[in-house]
Amino acid sequence: MKRAPARTATPPAAKTRRQKRPLDNLLALQESGAIYRALVEMTGTGYVILDTAGLVEDANAAYVRLTGRRSLEEVLGRSVVEWTAEHDRDRNAAEVRECFARGCVRHLEVDYVDAAGVRTPVEINATVVQTRRGPRILTLCRDISERRRYEDELQRAERLESIGVLAGGIAHDFNNILVGITGNISLAGLRLDEPDAVRELLAEAERAAFRARDLTQQLLTFARGGTPVRRAAAVQELIRESSAFVLRGSPVTARFDLPADLWPVEIDTGQISQVIQNIVLNAAQAMSDGGRILVAARNVEEGAEPAGRRRRGRLVRISISDRGPGIPPENLRRIFDPYFTTKEKGSGLGLAVAYSIVRRHDGEITVESDAAKGSTFHVFLPASKRGPANVASRADGRFAGRGRVLVMDDDDLARSVAVRLFRAIGFDAVPATDGDEAVGRFATAKKAGQPFDLAFLDLTVPGGMGGLECLARLRELDPSVRVIVSSGYAAAPVMADPARYGVAGVLAKPYRLEDIEALLHRL
């Protein structure tokens, strides 16, 4: 009979090792967790764990401080939206949902607010983790108040620098213009016995004055004024003419790629022409030794825009490319700042004006640049649903004025000039210093049986009744009165859409006799 093999006894020490292994693992995990928790606490970073309903399951003391609450119990089981500032609530709630869908959120910035209404800007980075209880969002939050303060100070310093550059550029340009005005007028005074020479010198002074007008219009465009007067228009010919005008006499030529089926766009043709001219001029200046600029345009279907576009919907994209040295990366972020330029020629105002005009057309302007390939500016304009509008032709010939015109302007010089211009056309022009005086003169003339046929009103009268209020008062006296409004600052909507306000016409300052005649021809 065979004896069964004897069992080998398990050493007591081995038994102890096997029995302790799960406990060792648990202790190791707890130790590891404590280490990571300590590291997070040392950085001052708040962490919070959210359940599938977006409610707080756990958080550390730093996170509780960020929420403005006093204890963990005040945040447990509650939604993070409760301590999110009102303007960020919907976005934060949406990001919680998106986090579960995408698996993470990176560099989200929202404002938290405490019970007293004090805001704390925080940066959030979150990741979805799988647990025994299901998916959870593990979130790390940092107070970025100091960073925001630093960024604000930096932006303030940059704005002050830009204002300084702007002021210096304006002073430089206007002083040059004033030399052209005062110098030519002085020379004209010395040659009064030579009528032809005087006329030429005065014409030169007038050209200088209108350079000043163009400069102020550009300044207003990227400030608060320059409201576009839009109509549906085809842009192919506008692009060709604007580009050709700038390149005339230049060693730079243009190649056009403009499809015949481009959609019309709702634009102020004068302003968009200025955009094209400014960008083409910038491209030509980048190629001082000559070369060829590519000017192209394309329809961009809705949904086909590149990622990151600010505007959506059907667009027309105008692209202007040069083969110059490109724009240094450090200058790209300032390329649209007024009076910022790295060129020997040019004021640095053109691209700032182009940017402002395009934004006021609900469009967008971007730039790509490479030292080896040059720069390309893209102008995105919303496509129109209407066909191009017909352009009314301008009447020729002098205007023969008849009847009485009431001229209201608070500026003595502007009022005096306007009265003399209307009298030169043939009107009996009567001055008024503000709206109250204009209403009084209008009522007196009507009562005397000598009513005014036209009122020419300055739109803005500081501290007094301006053009629109005056218009309303005149309409009470005579509903059929025809009114022209004038302004040196075209921020008011009436300058862009006069018919909506019952205005017969508008005239931007400064103006000439020919400008008044042209407007009266159209009325």
The rounded distance, in Å, linking the Cα atoms of 309 and 306 is: 6
Q: Which of 128-132, 178-182, 311-315, 444-448 has the lowest mean pLDDT?
A: 311-315
Q: Which range, 144-158, 184-198, 306-320, 344-358, is most confident?
A: 184-198
Categorize the per-residue pLDDT at 179 as very low, low, confident or very high, splitting at 50, 70 and 90: confident
Q: What is the distance in angstroms between the CA of the first residue and the CA of the last residue of the chain?
A: 133
pLDDT at 2: 53
The rounded distance, in Å, linking the Cα atoms of 86 and 100 is: 23
231 beta partners: 267
pLDDT at 391: 43
Neighbours of 114 (CB within 10 A): 15
Q: Are 45 and 59 in contact (CB under 8 A)?
A: no
Residue 62, phi then psi, degrees to nearest 5: -65, -40
Please check the confidence at residue 194 and state whether its pLDDT lies above 70.
Answer: yes
The rounded distance, in Å, linking the Cα atoms of 82 and 79 is: 6
For tokens 């003169």, name the residue. 441
254 beta partners: 293
Q: Which of 172-181, 255-264, 460-469 has the lowest mean pLDDT?
A: 172-181
pLDDT at 344: 52
The rounded distance, in Å, linking the Cα atoms of 80 and 51 is: 11
| pLDDT tens digits along 405-454 | 999 999 888 899 899 999 988 999 999 999 999 999 999 999 999 999 99
pLDDT at 223: 59
pLDDT at 220: 66
Please check the confidence at residue 15 and state whether its pLDDT lies above 60.
Answer: no
pLDDT at 334: 75
pLDDT at 470: 93
135 beta partners: 130
Categorize the per-residue pLDDT at 184 as very low, low, confident or very high, splitting at 50, 70 and 90: confident
Q: Domains of the chain, with CATH numbers?
A: 21-143 (3.30.450.20), 148-222 (no CATH), 231-382 (3.30.565.10), 404-522 (3.40.50.2300)
- 477 or 6, which is more confident: 477
Long-range contacts of 208-215 (CB under 8 A, 24+ apart): 208/177, 208/178, 208/179, 208/180, 208/181, 208/184, 209/177, 209/181, 209/510, 210/510, 211/177, 211/180, 212/174, 212/177, 212/178, 212/181, 212/510, 213/509, 213/510, 215/170, 215/173, 215/174, 215/177, 215/349
Closest CA to 519 of 502, 501, 507, 508: 507
Please check the confidence at residue 37 and state whether its pLDDT lies above 80.
Answer: no
Categorize the per-residue pLDDT at 327 as very low, low, confident or very high, splitting at 50, 70 and 90: confident
Q: What is the mean pLDDT of the chain?
A: 82
Categorize the per-residue pLDDT at 56 as very low, low, confident or very high, splitting at 50, 70 and 90: very high
Please check the confidence at residue 242 and state whether its pLDDT lies above 90.
Answer: no
Please check the confidence at residue 95 and state whether its pLDDT lies above 50.
Answer: yes
Please check the confidence at residue 83 and state whether its pLDDT lies above 90.
Answer: yes
pLDDT at 7: 54
Q: Whole-model pTM above 0.85?
A: no
Q: Which range, 207-221, 259-273, 482-496, is most confident?
A: 259-273
The rounded distance, in Å, linking the Cα atoms of 404 and 505 is: 17
Tokens of 460: 């803005």
| pLDDT tens digits along 108-144 | 999 999 888 889 999 999 999 998 889 999 999 999 9
